[in-house]
Each structure stands twice: as structure tokens, then as C-alpha cells.
Amino acid sequence: MEIKEQNQIIEKKQIDRQDSNDEYVIKLEDVCMDFYTRDEKVDNLKEFLVRFFRGKLEKKRFRILEDVSFDVKKGESIALIGHNGAGKSTLLKIIAGIYKPTKGSVLVNGTVAPLLNLGAGFDYEATGKENVYLNGAILGYSKKELEKKYKEIVDFAELHEYMHIPLKNYSSGMVARLGFAIAIDVKPDILLVDEILSVGDENFRRKCASKINELKEQGVSFVIVSHNMAQVKNLCEKAIWIENSKVMDYGEVNDIVKKYTEYCNSLKH
């Protein structure tokens, strides 16, 4: 069943730069998110148009998030945990400005690097090198700045011999490595990470974790979605447990992970 996403692309609400010394980099208040789907299947375009103009297309509302409120301080790292379908990835996309919430307010103070779907903005007909410059330009970097960053990006991605090959010939792991290397090199104020810390082999995963710890020490704030509780406890100070579209609990990471784990174990009995 095809889901119609309401107001997918929006202009992000961002706190004025003069407020950059504010304690918080992210503030969400009473955020709700609804998606819509058709109750009945329409087999062809003609039938769809007829029903549309007659006002007979019934829509069903799905509430993905309900009254979500939390804030993230400068340099703070927070994990979003919960079962699949709880609304975690949708929440990251709201913070990134990809979705506009149906209700509530979202304020973001600083530059955001969303690691949500690595390689989503790549041109697969272009080479790895061309994509570095393309994505860098989208992130606001000049050609001169990217020339300085290029070697560091390629070194981190470990794709030296592949940079003049079109991305359509890359494996999914190679694309993810290049996407990660570009995203973390922009030195953002806020990093949004959605289950991408498992890309590449064991050595590359360790390097990713080390880089994230380095960025944390530099004061970068993190919001991470992960089902790996050991990873969550290692990378984050706080956690938000989301279940059935609502915040179940919010606090110190070890306490929240313990409650969530106990809840998951109770479902097995």
C-alpha cells in the first residue's frame, strides 16, 4: 500500500546565528507526525482522476509520532532506541528538515550532517571524485576548500584506486564508506546517524567509531538511531526510548537501555 507523506520537503526552522551560544542545539516540543494512505486500491490513472475530482478518494491517517518533546545540549550525544516502526528514523528526518511535523515545533541551532541514507544524493553515473565535489558543493563548500579536503576524504574511505570509476560500479559498502567520509569531514555542529555504523569491514567500523568519538571531543552533538545496545552505551550519554510512536522514557543511557532490555525480554515470555 502506497503511503502519501505529508509535506515531505520543508525549509528548516533554524535558530538565528546570533544565538549560537545558546545551551541547546536541538529543541522539540509536542511534535506529532502523521502519514496518510488510501483505504482502497486504485488500479489505473483514469480511475484515480475520476475519484479524485468526485472527492471519493478516502484517506486513512497513521500517527507515526505523538507529542514528542526533548532537547539536546551542545556536545551531548543521545540515542533513539525502540522497536522497528516506533518512529525513530522519522524523528531524525524531522530534525534534519526532510519532514515537516504535523504539529509541534522544531528548533535546530547549527549545521547538520544527516547520515540517514549514505549515498542517497550521489550521481551513480559520475565517478567517486566527481561525487566528492558534487556533495561538497551541496554542503556549501567551494572548489578550493574541497581540493584541500579531498585527500583526507579519500584516505578515510580507503577508496584510492576507485575514485575515477563511476559509482554504479561500486558495491553498496563502498558507496556507504564514501558517503560517511564526506559527511564527517564537514565538521558539523550536529550529526544525525541512522544505523550506518555497521558499514564496511570490522577495521572500518572501528575507524568510524573512533572518528565519532573524536568529533564528540570537539563538541559535536549526536543523535543516533541504533539497535546495538553495546554501541549505544559506548557512544551516548543519554537515551530516548520510543515505543508505539510515543516517548516511553528519557534519561541516562544505562538506565534507559536497562529498562528497554527488560521490556524486550518480557515480550519473549
Cβ-contact 91, 68 below 8 angstroms: yes
Average pLDDT over residues 173-186: 82
Q: Is the pLDDT of residue 21 over 70?
A: no
Q: Write the secondary structure of the chain as one string of H (helix), E (strand) and C (coil).
A: CCEEECCCCCCCCECCHHHCCCCEEEEEEEEEEEEEEECCCCCCHHHHHHHHHCCCCCEEEEEEEEEEEEEEECCCEEEEECCCCCCHHHHHHHHHCCCCCCEEEEEECCCEEEECCCCCCCCCCCEHHHHHHHHHHHCCCCHHHHHHHHHHHHHHHCCHHHCCCEHHHCCHHHHHHHHHHHHHHCCCCEEEEECCCCCCCHHHHHHHHHHHHHHHHCCCEEEEECCCHHHHHHHCCEEEEEECCEEEEEEEHHHHHHHHHHHHHHHCC
- Between 1 and 157, residue with greater pLDDT: 157
- Between 125 and 268, residue with greater pLDDT: 125
- Residue 22: what pLDDT? 64
Q: What are 198's three cell numbers? A: 555497521
- Residue 47: what pLDDT? 64
Taking alpha carbons only, the member of 219, 214, 221 closest to residue 236 is: 221
Residue type, 232: V
Q: Quote the Cα angle for 53-55-58, to 5°.
A: 130
- Domains along the chain with CATH numbers: 3-111+188-267 (3.40.50.300), 122-180 (no CATH)
Q: d(Cα 36, Cα 4) in Å, to the nearest integer? A: 5
- Residue 12: what pLDDT? 36
Average pLDDT over residues 85-89: 91
- Between 92 and 52, residue with greater pLDDT: 92
Q: d(Cα 70, Cα 252) in Å, to the nearest integer? A: 13
- Directed axis angle between helix 128-138 and helix 172-185, to 10°? 40
Q: What are 87's three cell numbers? A: 518512529
Average pLDDT over residues 82-109: 92
If pLDDT is split at 50, 70 and 90, which confidence band does 268 have? confident
Chain segment 28-60, per-residue pLDDT in tens? 999 999 987 765 565 666 665 656 556 655 667
Chain segment 200-250, per-residue pLDDT in tens? 667 777 788 788 888 888 889 999 998 889 888 988 999 999 999 999 999
Q: Is the pLDDT of residue 1 over 70?
A: no
Q: d(Cα 256, Cα 11) in Å, to the nearest integer? A: 33
